[in-house]
Amino acid sequence: MLLFLEQLLNGLQFGVTLLLMASGLTLIFGIMNLINLAHGSLFMVGAYVGATAIAHGSGFFLGLLAGIAAAALTGMAMELLIMRRLYRRDHLDQVLATFGLILFFNEMVSIIWGRQPVAMNTPDFLSGTVEFIPGAPYPAFRLAVIVTGIVVTGLLYFLVMKTRIGMWIRAGASNREMIGALGVNISLLYTVLFGFGAALAGLAGVMAAPFSAVQSGMGENILILTFVVIVIGGIGSIRGAVAGALLIGLTDTLGRVYIPDLMRLWLPPSVADGTGASLASMLIYILMAVVLAFRPRGLFQTHG
Protein backbone atom coordinates (compact mmCIF):
# COMPACT_ATOMS: atom_id res chain seq x y z
CA MET A 1 0.00 0.00 0.00
CA LEU A 2 2.84 2.41 0.78
CA LEU A 3 4.38 1.68 -2.62
CA PHE A 4 1.02 2.31 -4.30
CA LEU A 5 0.57 5.65 -2.47
CA GLU A 6 4.10 6.72 -3.38
CA GLN A 7 3.57 5.85 -7.05
CA LEU A 8 0.22 7.63 -6.92
CA LEU A 9 2.03 10.80 -5.84
CA ASN A 10 4.67 10.26 -8.55
CA GLY A 11 1.89 9.96 -11.12
CA LEU A 12 0.30 13.14 -9.78
CA GLN A 13 3.63 14.96 -10.01
CA PHE A 14 4.14 13.79 -13.61
CA GLY A 15 0.56 14.75 -14.42
CA VAL A 16 1.08 18.24 -13.01
CA THR A 17 4.20 18.70 -15.16
CA LEU A 18 2.16 17.70 -18.21
CA LEU A 19 -0.61 20.03 -17.05
CA LEU A 20 1.72 23.04 -17.04
CA MET A 21 2.63 22.20 -20.64
CA ALA A 22 -0.92 21.37 -21.68
CA SER A 23 -2.40 24.52 -20.13
CA GLY A 24 -0.23 26.75 -22.28
CA LEU A 25 -0.64 24.64 -25.40
CA THR A 26 -4.42 24.38 -25.05
CA LEU A 27 -4.60 28.19 -25.07
CA ILE A 28 -2.52 28.33 -28.24
CA PHE A 29 -3.93 25.25 -29.95
CA GLY A 30 -7.54 25.45 -28.81
CA ILE A 31 -8.22 29.17 -28.56
CA MET A 32 -5.87 30.56 -31.23
CA ASN A 33 -6.42 27.56 -33.57
CA LEU A 34 -2.66 27.27 -34.10
CA ILE A 35 -0.74 23.99 -34.13
CA ASN A 36 2.58 24.79 -32.47
CA LEU A 37 4.96 21.83 -32.58
CA ALA A 38 7.68 24.11 -31.18
CA HIS A 39 5.96 24.34 -27.79
CA GLY A 40 8.34 21.66 -26.52
CA SER A 41 11.26 23.87 -27.58
CA LEU A 42 9.99 26.57 -25.20
CA PHE A 43 10.03 23.92 -22.45
CA MET A 44 13.67 23.24 -23.40
CA VAL A 45 14.60 26.94 -23.42
CA GLY A 46 13.15 27.40 -19.93
CA ALA A 47 15.05 24.37 -18.63
CA TYR A 48 18.39 25.46 -20.14
CA VAL A 49 18.20 29.08 -18.98
CA GLY A 50 16.94 28.13 -15.51
CA ALA A 51 19.64 25.45 -15.04
CA THR A 52 22.37 27.83 -16.27
CA ALA A 53 21.25 30.67 -14.00
CA ILE A 54 21.14 28.36 -10.97
CA ALA A 55 24.55 26.87 -11.83
CA HIS A 56 26.04 30.39 -11.83
CA GLY A 57 24.82 31.06 -8.30
CA SER A 58 21.59 32.94 -8.94
CA GLY A 59 19.58 30.77 -6.56
CA PHE A 60 16.58 28.63 -7.37
CA PHE A 61 13.91 31.33 -7.42
CA LEU A 62 15.94 33.70 -9.62
CA GLY A 63 16.77 30.78 -11.89
CA LEU A 64 13.08 29.88 -12.04
CA LEU A 65 12.16 33.45 -12.97
CA ALA A 66 14.96 33.55 -15.56
CA GLY A 67 13.68 30.35 -17.20
CA ILE A 68 10.09 31.60 -17.26
CA ALA A 69 11.10 35.00 -18.65
CA ALA A 70 13.34 33.48 -21.33
CA ALA A 71 10.59 31.15 -22.52
CA ALA A 72 7.99 33.96 -22.49
CA LEU A 73 10.19 36.36 -24.47
CA THR A 74 11.14 33.63 -26.92
CA GLY A 75 7.47 32.76 -27.39
CA MET A 76 6.45 36.38 -27.97
CA ALA A 77 9.26 36.82 -30.50
CA MET A 78 8.08 33.65 -32.27
CA GLU A 79 4.53 34.99 -32.41
CA LEU A 80 5.57 38.38 -33.75
CA LEU A 81 8.02 37.12 -36.36
CA ILE A 82 6.49 33.84 -37.52
CA MET A 83 3.21 32.71 -35.97
CA ARG A 84 1.29 35.86 -36.85
CA ARG A 85 1.69 34.95 -40.52
CA LEU A 86 0.28 31.47 -39.94
CA TYR A 87 -3.08 32.14 -38.27
CA ARG A 88 -5.01 32.14 -41.53
CA ARG A 89 -2.90 29.44 -43.15
CA ASP A 90 -3.67 25.74 -43.38
CA HIS A 91 -2.74 23.50 -40.45
CA LEU A 92 -0.21 21.72 -42.67
CA ASP A 93 1.65 25.01 -43.15
CA GLN A 94 1.65 25.52 -39.37
CA VAL A 95 3.02 22.02 -38.79
CA LEU A 96 5.82 22.47 -41.34
CA ALA A 97 6.80 25.92 -40.04
CA THR A 98 6.86 24.93 -36.38
CA PHE A 99 8.71 21.69 -37.17
CA GLY A 100 11.37 23.87 -38.74
CA LEU A 101 11.49 25.86 -35.50
CA ILE A 102 12.14 22.63 -33.56
CA LEU A 103 15.22 21.97 -35.69
CA PHE A 104 16.33 25.59 -35.30
CA PHE A 105 16.05 25.59 -31.50
CA ASN A 106 17.72 22.19 -31.12
CA GLU A 107 20.73 23.39 -33.10
CA MET A 108 20.75 26.75 -31.34
CA VAL A 109 20.99 25.26 -27.85
CA SER A 110 23.69 22.88 -29.11
CA ILE A 111 25.71 25.87 -30.34
CA ILE A 112 25.24 27.82 -27.09
CA TRP A 113 25.44 25.04 -24.46
CA GLY A 114 27.12 22.21 -26.40
CA ARG A 115 26.04 18.61 -26.96
CA GLN A 116 26.60 17.45 -23.39
CA PRO A 117 23.55 17.46 -21.05
CA VAL A 118 23.37 20.19 -18.42
CA ALA A 119 22.69 19.02 -14.89
CA MET A 120 20.40 20.84 -12.46
CA ASN A 121 20.36 19.82 -8.82
CA THR A 122 17.39 19.99 -6.50
CA PRO A 123 17.56 23.20 -4.40
CA ASP A 124 18.96 22.63 -0.91
CA PHE A 125 15.86 23.81 0.92
CA LEU A 126 13.75 21.26 -1.01
CA SER A 127 16.25 18.39 -1.01
CA GLY A 128 14.74 16.64 2.01
CA THR A 129 11.61 14.56 2.43
CA VAL A 130 8.17 15.17 3.89
CA GLU A 131 6.41 12.35 5.71
CA PHE A 132 2.76 13.35 5.43
CA ILE A 133 1.91 9.68 4.84
CA PRO A 134 3.14 7.71 7.89
CA GLY A 135 5.98 5.40 6.91
CA ALA A 136 6.32 6.84 3.38
CA PRO A 137 8.67 9.87 3.23
CA TYR A 138 8.18 11.74 -0.02
CA PRO A 139 10.70 14.09 -1.74
CA ALA A 140 9.91 17.70 -0.87
CA PHE A 141 10.74 18.97 -4.37
CA ARG A 142 8.25 16.61 -6.01
CA LEU A 143 5.63 17.81 -3.54
CA ALA A 144 6.53 21.42 -4.42
CA VAL A 145 5.99 20.62 -8.11
CA ILE A 146 2.50 19.29 -7.32
CA VAL A 147 1.58 22.36 -5.25
CA THR A 148 2.97 24.73 -7.92
CA GLY A 149 0.95 23.05 -10.65
CA ILE A 150 -2.27 23.20 -8.64
CA VAL A 151 -1.79 26.90 -7.80
CA VAL A 152 -0.87 27.87 -11.38
CA THR A 153 -3.82 25.94 -12.83
CA GLY A 154 -6.21 27.64 -10.41
CA LEU A 155 -4.87 31.07 -11.36
CA LEU A 156 -5.11 30.21 -15.06
CA TYR A 157 -8.73 29.08 -14.71
CA PHE A 158 -9.56 32.31 -12.85
CA LEU A 159 -7.81 34.40 -15.53
CA VAL A 160 -9.60 32.75 -18.46
CA MET A 161 -13.07 32.36 -16.92
CA LYS A 162 -13.45 35.25 -14.44
CA THR A 163 -11.57 38.28 -15.79
CA ARG A 164 -12.10 40.78 -18.59
CA ILE A 165 -8.92 39.59 -20.34
CA GLY A 166 -10.26 36.05 -20.21
CA MET A 167 -13.51 37.27 -21.73
CA TRP A 168 -11.55 38.87 -24.58
CA ILE A 169 -9.59 35.64 -25.09
CA ARG A 170 -12.74 33.53 -25.28
CA ALA A 171 -14.49 36.06 -27.52
CA GLY A 172 -11.45 36.23 -29.80
CA ALA A 173 -11.53 32.47 -30.16
CA SER A 174 -15.16 32.63 -31.29
CA ASN A 175 -15.01 35.65 -33.60
CA ARG A 176 -11.68 37.39 -34.05
CA GLU A 177 -13.02 40.01 -36.48
CA MET A 178 -15.91 41.03 -34.23
CA ILE A 179 -13.82 41.58 -31.12
CA GLY A 180 -11.36 43.60 -33.21
CA ALA A 181 -14.25 45.77 -34.47
CA LEU A 182 -15.23 46.43 -30.84
CA GLY A 183 -11.87 48.09 -30.20
CA VAL A 184 -9.81 45.27 -28.71
CA ASN A 185 -6.27 45.00 -30.10
CA ILE A 186 -6.54 41.33 -30.95
CA SER A 187 -2.98 41.16 -32.34
CA LEU A 188 -1.53 42.41 -29.05
CA LEU A 189 -3.85 40.11 -27.11
CA TYR A 190 -2.66 37.09 -29.09
CA THR A 191 1.00 38.06 -28.59
CA VAL A 192 0.50 38.30 -24.82
CA LEU A 193 -1.48 35.05 -24.80
CA PHE A 194 1.26 33.26 -26.75
CA GLY A 195 3.86 34.62 -24.35
CA PHE A 196 1.80 33.45 -21.38
CA GLY A 197 1.55 29.95 -22.81
CA ALA A 198 5.30 29.98 -23.44
CA ALA A 199 5.91 31.10 -19.83
CA LEU A 200 3.97 28.06 -18.57
CA ALA A 201 6.14 25.83 -20.76
CA GLY A 202 9.25 27.49 -19.32
CA LEU A 203 7.96 26.94 -15.79
CA ALA A 204 7.40 23.26 -16.58
CA GLY A 205 10.92 23.02 -18.02
CA VAL A 206 12.61 24.42 -14.91
CA MET A 207 10.50 22.31 -12.54
CA ALA A 208 11.19 19.14 -14.57
CA ALA A 209 14.94 19.78 -15.02
CA PRO A 210 16.07 18.05 -11.77
CA PHE A 211 14.29 14.84 -12.88
CA SER A 212 15.81 14.59 -16.35
CA ALA A 213 18.88 15.60 -18.31
CA VAL A 214 18.66 19.09 -19.80
CA GLN A 215 19.73 18.45 -23.38
CA SER A 216 18.94 19.28 -26.97
CA GLY A 217 15.67 17.73 -28.10
CA MET A 218 14.31 17.20 -24.58
CA GLY A 219 11.04 18.88 -25.51
CA GLU A 220 9.91 16.40 -28.18
CA ASN A 221 8.88 13.53 -25.91
CA ILE A 222 6.88 15.67 -23.52
CA LEU A 223 5.29 17.49 -26.48
CA ILE A 224 3.83 14.19 -27.76
CA LEU A 225 2.37 13.44 -24.33
CA THR A 226 1.04 17.00 -24.11
CA PHE A 227 -0.88 16.61 -27.37
CA VAL A 228 -2.29 13.32 -26.05
CA VAL A 229 -3.45 15.19 -22.94
CA ILE A 230 -5.18 17.86 -25.02
CA VAL A 231 -6.86 15.35 -27.32
CA ILE A 232 -8.16 13.31 -24.37
CA GLY A 233 -9.33 16.33 -22.40
CA GLY A 234 -10.85 18.26 -25.31
CA ILE A 235 -9.21 20.91 -27.46
CA GLY A 236 -9.44 24.35 -25.87
CA SER A 237 -10.73 23.17 -22.48
CA ILE A 238 -8.80 24.03 -19.31
CA ARG A 239 -10.85 21.48 -17.36
CA GLY A 240 -10.07 18.93 -20.06
CA ALA A 241 -6.34 19.68 -19.75
CA VAL A 242 -6.54 19.03 -16.01
CA ALA A 243 -8.43 15.76 -16.44
CA GLY A 244 -6.27 14.56 -19.31
CA ALA A 245 -2.98 15.40 -17.59
CA LEU A 246 -3.93 13.59 -14.40
CA LEU A 247 -5.19 10.56 -16.34
CA ILE A 248 -2.00 10.33 -18.41
CA GLY A 249 0.30 10.93 -15.46
CA LEU A 250 -1.31 8.30 -13.27
CA THR A 251 -1.78 5.78 -16.08
CA ASP A 252 1.81 6.04 -17.28
CA THR A 253 3.38 5.91 -13.81
CA LEU A 254 1.25 3.09 -12.39
CA GLY A 255 1.47 1.13 -15.64
CA ARG A 256 5.28 1.19 -15.68
CA VAL A 257 5.38 -0.02 -12.06
CA TYR A 258 2.69 -2.72 -12.03
CA ILE A 259 2.32 -4.13 -15.56
CA PRO A 260 5.73 -5.92 -15.55
CA ASP A 261 4.73 -7.52 -12.21
CA LEU A 262 1.43 -8.67 -13.71
CA MET A 263 3.22 -10.14 -16.72
CA ARG A 264 5.37 -12.26 -14.40
CA LEU A 265 2.23 -14.15 -13.37
CA TRP A 266 2.01 -15.71 -16.86
CA LEU A 267 5.46 -15.29 -18.44
CA PRO A 268 9.06 -16.05 -17.47
CA PRO A 269 10.69 -13.05 -15.71
CA SER A 270 13.11 -12.31 -18.57
CA VAL A 271 10.23 -12.13 -21.06
CA ALA A 272 7.78 -10.47 -18.66
CA ASP A 273 10.01 -7.44 -18.03
CA GLY A 274 10.39 -6.62 -21.72
CA THR A 275 6.76 -7.32 -22.57
CA GLY A 276 5.51 -5.39 -19.54
CA ALA A 277 7.66 -2.36 -20.38
CA SER A 278 6.37 -2.37 -23.97
CA LEU A 279 2.74 -2.62 -22.85
CA ALA A 280 3.26 0.11 -20.26
CA SER A 281 4.61 2.50 -22.91
CA MET A 282 1.56 1.74 -25.09
CA LEU A 283 -0.95 2.21 -22.28
CA ILE A 284 -1.51 5.96 -22.65
CA TYR A 285 -2.21 5.59 -26.38
CA ILE A 286 -4.65 2.76 -25.68
CA LEU A 287 -6.34 5.05 -23.17
CA MET A 288 -6.55 7.80 -25.79
CA ALA A 289 -8.11 5.40 -28.31
CA VAL A 290 -10.71 4.25 -25.77
CA VAL A 291 -11.64 7.82 -24.82
CA LEU A 292 -11.96 8.91 -28.45
CA ALA A 293 -14.07 5.85 -29.27
CA PHE A 294 -16.74 7.09 -26.84
CA ARG A 295 -15.99 10.83 -26.80
CA PRO A 296 -14.59 11.78 -30.23
CA ARG A 297 -14.10 15.42 -29.18
CA GLY A 298 -12.54 14.61 -25.81
CA LEU A 299 -13.87 14.45 -22.28
CA PHE A 300 -14.81 18.15 -22.19
CA GLN A 301 -16.04 19.17 -25.61
CA THR A 302 -15.73 22.90 -26.33
CA HIS A 303 -16.42 23.15 -30.08
CA GLY A 304 -19.13 21.91 -32.37
Q: Tell me: the pLDDT tens digits for 184-212?
A: 787 888 888 899 999 999 999 999 988 88
Give the pLDDT mean for 154-159.
86
Q: Would residue 85 count as lying in a domain? A: yes
Biggest CA pair distance of the chain: 69
- Percent of the chain beyond pLDDT 70? 97
Q: Tell me: the pLDDT tens digits for 75-101?
A: 999 999 998 888 888 888 999 999 999
Q: Would residue 270 count as lying in a domain? A: no
Which residue(s) pair with 136 in the sheet?
133
Q: Would residue 253 count as lying in a domain? A: no
Is 156's pLDDT higher than 50? yes
Confidence of residue 304 (pLDDT cuts 50, 70, 90): very low
Q: Would residue 73 count as lying in a domain? A: yes
Confidence of residue 173 (pLDDT cuts 50, 70, 90): low
Measured distance CA(47)–CA(21) in Å, rounded? 13
CA angle 20, 21, 24 (to 5 degrees): 90
Q: Tell me: the pLDDT tens digits for 110-126?
A: 999 988 888 888 888 88
Q: Would residue 62 count as lying in a domain? A: yes
Who contacts 14 (Cβ-Cβ below 8 Å, separation ≥6)?
249, 252, 253
Q: Would residue 125 count as lying in a domain? A: yes
Measured distance CA(28)–CA(42) in Å, rounded? 13
Q: Would residue 57 count as lying in a domain? A: yes
**Structural domain containing residue 67:** 2-215
Question: Which is more confidently placed, 211 or 177?
Answer: 211
User: How many folded domains does the chain comprise?
Assistant: 1
Are residues 20 and 202 in contact, defined by beta-carbon separation less than 8 angstroms?
A: no
Q: Would residue 179 count as lying in a domain? A: yes
- The pLDDT assigned to 160 comes to 79
- The pLDDT assigned to 68 comes to 95
CA nearest 198: which of 42, 22, 78? 42
Give the 3-state secondary structure percentages of the chain, helix then strand then coil, rounded to 5.
75, 5, 20
